């Protein structure tokens, strides 16, 4: 009696994702894995963590190692990308917007607004002395 073949290894497409893109300092990176469900000569089909499916051009991603998935505005990689070792400091307009969004009149809390205002004031002070 022959033994059954071992299951094929699960393959993934990878995405470098900034967990704080909309709240707080940028640069809190994580690597997301999107399971590859099917490969054809032209396309690689995959499933996002949310369950939604998508596909990318197989020749392009295999040639470049990464591809911009235009529909979802994501950059997908064949291998896990390196996490950047430096964080990008948010600009003054980004900090000003975060401060406005954290204001209690816009649904924020006093604590969140005070913290956002401090980040903005510190950045302004640092920029003025530079």
As a residue count, the chain comes to 130
Tell me: pLDDT of 129 over 90. no
User: Residue 40: its pLDDT value, please?
Assistant: 95
Verify that 34 and 72 share a domain, yes or no: yes
Is pLDDT of 21 > 60?
Answer: no
24 in a domain, yes or no?
yes
The reported pTM is: 0.57
Report whether pLDDT(25) > 60.
no
Render pLDDT for 70-95 as a digit per residue (tens, 0 to 9).
777 789 999 999 887 765 678 889 89
Torsions phi, psi of 10, nearest 5? -75, 135
Whether residue 25 sits in one domain with residue 56? yes
Question: Residue 8's pLDDT is what?
Answer: 72
| 123 located within any domain | yes
Higher pLDDT, 130 or 38: 38
Range from 11-25, 86-100, 101-115 carrying the lowest mean pLDDT: 11-25
Location of structure tokens 């980040």: 119
Q: Measure CA of the first residue to CA of the last residue in the chain; give whole Å.
A: 76
Q: What percent of the chain has pLDDT over 70?
A: 89
**Whether residue 65 is found in the same domain as residue 98:** no
- If asked whether residues 98 and 65 sit together in one domain, one would say no
How many domains does the chain divide into?
2
Range of the structural domain that residue 60 is part of: 12-77
């Amino acid at each position: 009696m022959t033994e059954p073949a071992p299951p094929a290894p699960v393959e993934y497409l990878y995405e470098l994702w900034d967990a704080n893109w909309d709240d707080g300092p940028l640069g809190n990176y994580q690597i997301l894995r999107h399971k590859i469900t099917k490969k054809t000569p032209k396309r690689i089909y995959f499933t996002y963590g949310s369950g939604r499916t998508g596909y990318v051009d197989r020749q392009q991603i295999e040639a470049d190692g990464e591809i911009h998935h235009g529909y979802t505005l994501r950059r997908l990689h064949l291998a896990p990308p390196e996490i950047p070792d430096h964080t990008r400091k948010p600009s003054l307009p980004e900090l000003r917007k975060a401060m406005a969004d954290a204001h209690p009149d816009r649904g924020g809390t006093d604590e969140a607004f005070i913290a956002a205002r401090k980040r903005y004031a510190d950045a302004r002070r640092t920029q003025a002395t530079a």
